Structure 1
């Protein structure tokens, strides 16, 4: 007596799936064109150097005085502030973004 062993597919109805249309593969979107020019980059680097100068404690406190006054005071006391900072400050003496310290917006 041989028993016929049924397959699982004998018990369930076979359903054929429709072939899906092949989706178009999306190409990665290119990055937006850089609108930042070299002058903006140079200015941002200069402002970062000035902020770093403000945070350098060895040149004394920076509240209540301009960056150039602080640089001159540090020079007077022999603390050897970077000459590059003085040059940056003299390029734009009227620009408050350059002349005022990082903490100038806070009241004393």
Structure 2
């Protein structure tokens, strides 16, 4: 008694693959976003400033940043001769009332 072996291709239609070297028609470029969306894509000044401050928090050359404000950390680093960026100090002095600027990245986490 012999059994006939069936192949998987017996159940499915054979599909030919497209050649790689075929010429394709030119596609039109995607439509440019409306001006409002283009403005939304660019970072606002506030986001850029907060990003600079976040990078200052993550830079361990200026010592630990937990438990103190960013300005205190900047002053401590200056006192110890670590040469922190002057633009960070200016930014912190301009925005002393906003806690998002004054407190470090880790201020929301308990010690």
- State TM-score, norm by structure 2: 0.65
Query: 5 Å matches for 1:1-108?
Result: 31-32=33-34, 33-34=36-37, 36=40, 41-108=44-111
Larger Rg: 1
Q: Name the CA distance, whole Å, in 1 between partners of 2:100 and 2:77.
A: 21
Please, which runs of 5 or more residues in structure 2 have no aligned partner?
1-29
Per-residue deviation, 1:36: 3.5
Q: CA RMSD in A?
A: 2.1
Please, which runs of 5 or more residues in structure 1 have no aligned partner?
1-27
Aligned residue pair count:
81
Show CA shifts across 1:57-95 (max 9, x none).
010000000000000000000000000000110111010
Per-residue deviation, 1:37: 9.3
Q: Name the CA distance, whole Å, in 1 between partners of 2:64 and 2:41.
A: 34
Show CA shifts across 1:15-74 (max 9, x none).
xxxxxxxxxxxxx66635235398x61111110000000000010000000000000000
